[in-house]
């Protein structure tokens, strides 16, 4: 923005100089007794057009210099509705949900999309939002009965599909996120955030008012990041005051890299639901996708080199991976 203002200012000054020169020339020629017919009109339109072209060229060159090189990989190709991807702690696998035959179950695929996906749950339920345990041995997710308006229950299953069971006793909620450094799980129930351990069936509330959703951990599990009334907020786990990281348009679906602490999220600030990243304090937002497709549910790999997300860029909602450049 600063560069644009400088360019436009320089252009405006140049035009004013041309006009001033024309006036001075006319005055000088009048003083020396020249007739009006002897004076040639100074053509400023040509100069203005040259300045316009130079300005456009500099803007295009600047845009080319800051162009981000990102490789996009389509990971799932089942021609079904695939959603809610989650990287394993080592970044080699992605857990996700696939809607097939009126049910939605948990699946796993390698992060390059080279192997056939493996089905993990096969129940007649609507499973959603998988998240990996810190050791990568288990997957926690929400599960709801078909045609049931009650809140889903939280379940856990081994990553090989064995030992499926309910998490805790009578714990209901959705959009769980497992801490990458300990056994804590944050989830949503009745529009507020709750925290519990995988071995403890007594969750504790973090928020009590408002509408909060899509929580995840940040700063080595010292803080929580979540969506609140179309913006992204962070809050200390000890319930101190929250900090708003965005205040523009609609922002949601945050995900944080364990290594870089960068935040991936979805925003429509550019007119479409695109993928963005920014620093942990909300500064330096960078747009990753800029097209007519819709992106949702981003998930950072722990090392911050890749982002898995849902997109309809293939004509169907599939799981995609964006490989970021090193300077990002």
In this prediction, residue 26 carries a pLDDT of 45
User: What pTM value is reported for the model?
Assistant: 0.78
List of residues 6+ apart from 282 with CB closer than 8 A:
232, 244, 245, 246
The phi and psi torsions of 208 (rounded to 5 degrees) equal -125, -15
Q: Residue 215 and residue 228: Cα distance in Å, rounded?
A: 10
In this prediction, residue 25 carries a pLDDT of 42
In this prediction, residue 68 carries a pLDDT of 65
Q: CATH fold of 71-323, please?
A: Neuraminidase (2.120.10)
Tokens of 222: 């010292």
In this prediction, residue 181 carries a pLDDT of 86
pLDDT beneath 70: ranges in the chain: 1-44, 55-56, 58-68, 200, 239-240
In this prediction, residue 7 carries a pLDDT of 32
Strands ordered across the beta sheet of 243-244: 212-218, 223-228, 231-236, 243-244
């Amino acid at each position: 923005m600063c560069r644009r203002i400088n360019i436009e200012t320089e252009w405006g000054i140049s035009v004013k100089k041309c006009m001033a020169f024309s006036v001075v020339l006319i005055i000088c020629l009048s003083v020396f007794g020249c007739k009006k017919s002897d004076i040639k009109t100074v053509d400023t339109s040509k100069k203005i057009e040259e300045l316009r072209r130079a300005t456009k060229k500099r803007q295009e060159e600047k845009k080319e210099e800051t162009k981000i090189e990102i490789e996009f990989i389509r990971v799932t190709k089942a021609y079904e509705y695939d959603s809610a991807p989650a990287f394993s702690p080592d970044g080699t696998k992605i857990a996700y949900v696939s809607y097939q035959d009126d049910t939605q179950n948990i699946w796993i695929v390698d992060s390059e999309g080279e192997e056939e996906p493996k089905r993990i749950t096969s129940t007649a339920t609507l499973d959603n939002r998988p998240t990996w345990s810190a050791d990568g041995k288990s997957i926690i997710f929400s599960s709801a009965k078909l045609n049931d308006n009650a809140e889903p229950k939280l379940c856990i299953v081994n990553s090989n599909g064995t030992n499926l069971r309910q998490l805790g006793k009578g714990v209901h909620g959705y959009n769980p996120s497992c801490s990458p450094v300990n056994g804590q799980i944050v989830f949503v129930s009745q529009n507020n955030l709750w925290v519990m351990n995988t071995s403890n069936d007594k969750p504790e509330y973090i928020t009590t008012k408002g509408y909060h959703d899509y929580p995840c951990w940040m700063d080595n599990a010292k803080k929580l990041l979540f969506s609140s009334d179309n913006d992204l907020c962070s809050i200390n786990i000890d319930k101190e005051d929250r900090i708003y990281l965005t205040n523009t348009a609609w922002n949601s679906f945050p995900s944080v890299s364990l290594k870089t602490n960068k935040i991936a999220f979805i925003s429509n600030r550019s007119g479409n639901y695109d993928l963005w990243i920014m620093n942990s304090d909300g500064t330096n937002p960078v747009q990753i996708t800029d097209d007519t497709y819709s992106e949702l549910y981003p998930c950072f790999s722990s090392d911050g080199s890749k982002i898995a997300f849902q997109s309809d860029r293939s004509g169907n909602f599939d799981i995609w991976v964006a490989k970021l450049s090193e300077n990002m």
